[in-house]
Every structure is written in C-alpha cells, then in structure tokens.
C-alpha cells in the first residue's frame, strides 16, 4: 500500500508541499489510501457545525454536469481524502504523479456522497459506486461549488485581501488591529487568514500555507460566520490566484503592497508573476483596490486595475490619494501623519521599525478607510497591534544589545530589513541567513551578497535545505558574498548548523550591537533531507543569549536536535 496523501499527489501546486513518500507495491487504481493524521480526528481547518444539505442535483446544475439519480445531498466538500466526513463531496483532482481518483475508495469508506473529478478520473471514481460529477476542470469549479455547499459564507463577511511580495503578513495583522478597534463598540469578532496562522476571534488555527485551498477556505469562512465574525483580513498569494484557491471569493477591498523577484520557480518570469497578482484587481475577484503608488508594479497596476483604486505613498508623493508626512523612524516603530484626499489628517504609528513598515501601516489604514472605517479609528487600531510573529520580532533575555528575528527570505526583503536595523543600531550588526532548498535558486547569490555588504558580521547558514545538499546552497551564497569588494563587505562566516550559526553571531555581540536572525521567522521546524525537526529561531536565539550571559563559552549552544 502506498503511504501517499491525496494532497501530496498534487504537490506541484504548492511550494511547501512535501514530495510523496512511497513504500510497497502499487495497488489497483482507486485503492490508494492516504495516511490519517494522528493528532486530530479530522485533518484540516475547522468545519461549520450547521450546514444545510444541498441536493447533488442542484450542484450538478451549477456545474453543468450530468445530474445523478436519487436524492443524495452534500454537507461538505474536500480535496483531501483523509479529511472526508460523512456527507462530503470528494474533489479528486489530477496531480503530477497521481490522480486524486486513486483515493476515491478511501473517500467512499469515510462517508463521501459523491466525487467531483475530470474525465480522466471518472472511471476510477465510478468504480466506488458513488455518484460522479464530471467536469473538464474540477479545480477551477471547486471554489464556487464549496461556496454553494457552505451557503455563500463570504457574502456575510467584510473581506480584505492583501497581495504582494513582501509585507502581506504584517499588513494583514495591522488591518486586523484596525478591524478589532472598529468592532469594539458592537462586540463583533474579526478573522485573520495568513502564513503564520488563521484566527477566528481569539482562537488560533495553524496555517499550512499562505492561502488555504478553496474547499478549506470556504469552510473557514462558514465557521467564522457561525461564530460571529463579521470581517476578515486575508493574505492572498500568487499561488492562490493561479490555482483557484480564492475562487468563490469577491473581496470588498484588495490591497497591493509591492512586487519583487520571488517564486520564480513557479512563475516563468516577473511579467507572469505580476499578471497573477493583477487577477485580484479584476471585477471577478474584488470590488475596490488599494495600491502602493511608490512601487513600480503598483504604479502600473493603477491603470490596469478593473476596479476603482485608492493609492497610497509612504514616500509622501503628492499625486497619491493618501500619503505619509512628518515620518519619524524609531528603534521600535515609527510615527507619521496620514494625509487623505479630502483633507483628512490623522496621527498614525507603525508598531514595527523600518520605512517599509510605514508603508505597511499606511496600506492598512487606507484599506480600512476604504472599507468605511473612520480614519482615526483605523490609525489607532493599527498602532495598537502588539507585534507580528516572526516579523522584526525582538528577543529580550536581559542582554545589552538588540536581538531580532525576521522572516525576510528574499533579496529585497533582506536588504530592507538590514537598512532598517542599521538606522537604529549604534554599534555593529551581526546577521544570520540561509536559503531554502528546492526553491528558486537564482536569489541565493543576491542574498549572500546583500548580507555580506550590509552586515558587519554575515553568518551564512542553513535554512530549510529540504532535499538539497546544504553545502551546495551555502557555496552559492558564499559566491555572492565574494562578489562584494573586500573593502565593502563585513566579516563572512560559514556555519552549516543553524543553531551554531546563531550562537556565533551572539558571541560577537557587544553593547549597542544588533543580532539579526533572518529567513525563518515564525516557523517552528527545519526541513533537512525530508525530515522536519523542531527548530524555533526565537527560542534558539534566546538560549544562545542566555548561555553567553552565563559564561558557558562563546560558541557553546544547546543541542536542538531531536530523534527522528
């Protein structure tokens, strides 16, 4: 029996998806069994408790598919055979190596009432005896179908979607802060969906990817509605737009932060990457847009958007609808005045340091105002956000130097963070960075170069090497560092072990310095050769600081490895 999941058979759809792990010999079509997760009764995000059954005949009409006989009805939908619950439609999607229809028998055994698939999967799905809804592109129809099954939950939520290369997570948290402030009087709850986590009010749900699959997203919307959530801030990745994860959604406000080279292992070039992001600003995806006037691609988007656009400029450009003035950058955050097109002027604050976070805060304020929230209420809510996990997050263990963890894992983001840290550091900057394996290899040279050029100590290390040789990744980063003229670069160290690399940076820190650990941010594991080991940059950094303070030696570090 093959121990591969139906999600894994589609691993080419998501850069974070694991490659299939196979053992044994193949079985007949339709009999593959996905491995259930032991830590929860039903894998995946939560589902609503009360769902009105929708007749399969009604869903078939929506799809334009042949209507099945009988009076069966659906109360859920999933693309993951492990997550099937009684009453579900199982969406059997084609994958790179396997077809979801290979898992149809397992779906049937768990209580599926029908299978949605393409012509290639129809015969295998029909062999289960379940009704089959056949369409040419099941993935392209899955989102709208899920919205129907769960009673169009998004229509009852104010939806704000954020896209761009950098700053999506931070902007989503800042918008959530503004929404929470606006809901204080009425006691309403807010929702958050993104890279770090999803939130239903104050309940946290672990995120598997930046944007959930369409079936999971619509179920999450339904849960939010059921529990009293009235508004949601959500990250929207280019993968989500291209692969239809936000099908069935029409965002009230779409936000564009910026665009820089990233995901070029998924997109063939920057033009394709931009076109993917631009999809969010079509009438099929949103009702209004908020766009960064200062960004090259944002400026282009202003004229290409199908929906009305409000622009913002953190650089204070007079032609933008909203602009930041009187900006005062500080070591923990920044304050500025947000000036609007009708003479609005509110004092605002970015609760995270760096000029790019002024842009994120202004984007959040403008999105909230565009959604009908009072400007000062919006600004106050953004300023009150206590921080964003893994985004310029301070680690304080009583040391006399600054220690910060950040998710920056692309050249532009690394440069922006280092420039921001330099502005608030009196002494030297000691930075740690690695590059992920099985991802776009072209950015590794630039990241090594940026770290060597902008740090006093650049410690090159492992990130998530995955199936690649960590030393090969480091060699490419080191080549980038070597391109920086010797008189322009700091001291460059190479340490494959990430914990030892962090300890090496801490060992060099003196009063007034900054230790900056980049690349993994909020992540809680490290993927090496297909095995994910527990690893938390914040915890490892804190431990290294404490060991140094206790005098355990400049390079000693606790062993964070665990037995596989």
Cα angle for residues 316, 321, 322 (degrees, 5° grid) = 50
Helix, strand counts (H, E) of the chain: 16, 25
> Which residues does the annotation place in the binding site for ATP?
164-170
The enclosing H or E element of 393 equals strand 393-394
DSSP class of residue 204? E
* Cα within 13 Å of Cα(413), Cβ side: 27
Residue 266, C-beta contacts closer than 8 angstroms, at least 6 positions apart: 15, 238, 239, 242
List, as one string, the DSSP characters of 346-388. Answer: EEEEESS-SHHHHHHHHHHHHHHHHTT--HHHHHHHHHT---B
Distance in angstroms (rounded) separating the CA atoms of residues 329 and 357 = 10
Distance in angstroms (rounded) separating the CA atoms of residues 230 and 220 = 13
> Which residues does the annotation place in the binding site for meso-2,6-diaminopimelate?
439, 463-466, 519, 523
If one counts every other C-beta atom within 10 angstroms of the C-beta of residue 365, the result is 32
Tokens for 28, please give them: 């007949």
> Which residues does the annotation place in the binding site?
81, 164-170, 210-211, 237, 245, 439, 463-466, 519, 523
Instruction: Give the β-pairing of 132-134 and 114-117.
Output: parallel
H helices of 45-95, in order, are 56-63
How far does the chain reach from its first CA to its final CA, in angstroms?
23
């Amino acid at each position: 029996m093959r121990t591969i999941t139906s999600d894994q058979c589609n691993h080419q759809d998501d850069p974070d998806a694991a490659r299939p792990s196979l053992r044994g010999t193949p079985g007949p079509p339709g009999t593959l069994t996905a491995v259930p997760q032991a830590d929860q009764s039903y894998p995946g995000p939560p589902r609503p408790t009360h769902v009105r059954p929708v007749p399969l005949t009604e869903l078939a009409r929506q799809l334009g598919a042949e209507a099945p006989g009988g009076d069966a009805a659906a109360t859920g939908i999933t693309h993951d055979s492990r997550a099937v619950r009684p009453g579900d439609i199982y969406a059997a999607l084609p994958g790179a190596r396997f077809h979801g229809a290979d898992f149809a028998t397992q779906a049937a055994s768990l209580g599926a009432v029908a299978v949605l698939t393409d012509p290639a999967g129809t015969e295998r799905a029909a062999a289960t005896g379940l009704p089959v809804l056949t369409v040419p592109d099941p993935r392209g129809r899955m989102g709208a179908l899920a919205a129907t099954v769960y009673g169009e939950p998004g229509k009852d939520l104010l939806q704000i979607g954020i896209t761009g290369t950098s700053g999506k997570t931070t902007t989503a948290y800042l918008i959530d802060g503004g929404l929470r402030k606006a809901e204080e009087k009425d006691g309403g709850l807010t929702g958050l969906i993104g890279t770090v986590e999803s939130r239903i009010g104050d309940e946290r749900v672990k995120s598997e990817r930046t944007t959930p699959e369409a079936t999971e997203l619509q179920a999450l919307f339904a849960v939010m509605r059921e529990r009293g959530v009235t508004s949601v801030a959500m990250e929207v990745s280019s993968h989500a737009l291209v692969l239809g994860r936000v099908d069935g959604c029409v965002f009230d406000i779409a936000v564009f932060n910026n665009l820089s080279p990233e995901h070029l292992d998924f997109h063939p070039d920057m033009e394709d990457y931009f076109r993917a992001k631009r999809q969010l600003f079509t009438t099929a995806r949103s009702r209004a847009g908020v766009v960064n006037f200062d960004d090259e691609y944002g400026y282009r988007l202003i004229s290409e958007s199908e929906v009305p656009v409000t622009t913002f400029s953190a650089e204070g450009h007079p032609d933008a609808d909203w602009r930041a003035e009187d900006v005062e950058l500080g070591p923990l955050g920044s304050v500025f005045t947000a000036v609007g097109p009708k003479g609005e002027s509110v004092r605002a604050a970015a609760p995270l340091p760096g000029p790019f976070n002024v842009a994120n805060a202004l984007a959040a304020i403008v999105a909230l105002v565009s959604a009908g929230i009072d400007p000062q209420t919006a600004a106050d809510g953004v300023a009150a956000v206590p921080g964003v996990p893994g985004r310029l997050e301070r680690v304080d263990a009583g040391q006399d130097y600054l220690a910060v963890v950040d998710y920056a894992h692309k050249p532009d983001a690394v440069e922006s963070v280092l420039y921001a840290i330099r502005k608030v550091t009196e002494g030297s900057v000691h930075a740690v960075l690695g590059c992920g394996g099985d991802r776009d290899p072209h950015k590794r040279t630039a990241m090594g170069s940026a770290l060597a050029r902008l740090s006093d100590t650049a410690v090159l290390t492992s990130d998530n090497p995955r199936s690649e040789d960590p030393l090969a990744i480091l060699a490419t980063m080191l080549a980038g560092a070597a391109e920086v003229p010797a008189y322009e670069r700091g001291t460059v160290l190479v340490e494959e072990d990430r914990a030892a690399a962090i300890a090496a940076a801490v060992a060099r820190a003196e009063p007034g310095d900054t230790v900056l650990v980049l690349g993994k941010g909020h992540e809680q594991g490290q993927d090496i050769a297909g095995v994910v080991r527990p690893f938390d940059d914040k915890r490892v950094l804190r431990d290294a600081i404490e060991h140094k303070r206790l005098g355990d030696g400049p390079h000693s570090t606790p062993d964070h490895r665990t037995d596989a």
